[in-house]
Amino acid sequence: MIRTPLITVMVQAVRKAGRALARDFGEVENLQVSTKGPANFVTAADRKAEDLLFAELSRVRPGFSFLMEERGRVEGTDISNEWVVDPLDGTTNFLHGIPLFAISLALVRNGVPYAGVIFNPATEELYVAEKGQGAFLNDRRIRVAARRTLSDAVVCCGLPHLGRGDHARFNRELAAVQTKVAGLRRTGSAALDLAWVAAGRFDAFWERDLCAWDMAAGMIIVREAGGLVCALDGSDKVLEKGEILAGNEDMRRDLLAALGGA
């Protein structure tokens, strides 16, 4: 695995927050839960993990800015380096006792993801990448899958749900894709979806209506695993548009074409 000072700092932070999440996951029925929108829960565990990440990263890299799911943007003296933090991606899974959730932490440098760490405390799977250093799952180098045709591919997507997303548009996209692929999946965690594309478990992934903290870490991990990442119009404006498509070159081309015809 990558042992640079930057990755060491990031891994230490997510592991510390991950220990707290793992304890709370074991007592999920006792968590205090509030709502901030339909089917969009905020848990005590979520806030605790973000507090731990903020404190740890502020200590080791004072001055770096933050963009966090709960706190929003916290501008530091160094605005060229920004920590982009999702302390609990897959909150609904977490609350239902489904072990598909993750901490997602990225360093975005001058607006571009430079390093990323995605950690699932329930499975102890740790995905890391830094620009030019490759991508790793725990101590193993990972690469995107090499499949070349959609008919052989398992593709993951996000699903709009109560109070979120354009359901009619998604239904058109689903109809356009489902007859072309070997299988479709939905996990409930965009960060893990991107990590699994990087690891070759999924051949491609697309989703709309995401935030930077859902995607930034996964973007650099996929790219360092040899994959491509773009917005659903084929541009590089992933973080600006809040939408993403990831996969190898062939998956990117053919899935973009299928979605474009929806």
**Are residue 114 and residue 156 in the same domain, yes or no?**
no
96 lies in the same domain as 178: no
Burial tier of 110 (Cβ tally within 10 Å: 0-12, 13-18, 19+): exposed
Which pLDDT score is estimated for 32? 65
Residue range(s) defining the domain that contains residue 49: 5-141
CA dist 195 to 51, 85, 129, 206, 242, Å?
24, 16, 10, 13, 18
User: Total domain count for the chain?
Assistant: 2
Last-in-domain residue among 88, 111, 141: 141
Q: Are 136 and 10 in contact (CB under 8 A)?
A: no
**CATH classification of the domain holding 195:** 3.40.190.80
Q: Are residues 160 and 105 in the same domain?
A: no
Residue 239 assigned ligand-binding role = no
Q: Are residues 118 and 173 in the same domain?
A: no
69 is in an annotated binding site: yes
Q: Of 141, 161, 190, which residue sits at a domain end?
A: 141
List the CATH number of the domain containing 47: 3.30.540.10
Are residue 25 and residue 134 in the same domain, yes or no?
Answer: yes
- Residues 184, 58, single domain; the answer is no
Q: Output the pTM of the full model.
A: 0.95
* 154, 133: one domain: no
pLDDT at 162: 83
Residues 193 and 212 in one domain: yes
Per-residue confidence (pLDDT) for residue 95, from 0 to 100: 86
Are residues 130 and 240 located together in one domain of the fold?
A: no
Regions of the chain where pLDDT drops below 50: 39
Co-location of 120 and 232 in the same domain:
no
DSSP structure string for 83-106: EEEEEEE-HHHHHTT-S--EEEEE
Is the same domain home to 246 and 190? yes
Encode pLDDT of 4-26 as tens digits.
999 999 999 999 999 999 998 88
- Please check if 250 is assigned to a binding site: no
Q: Based on the fold, state whether residues 79 and 204 are members of the same structural domain.
A: no
Q: Given 121, 141, 161, which residue is the final one in a domain?
A: 141
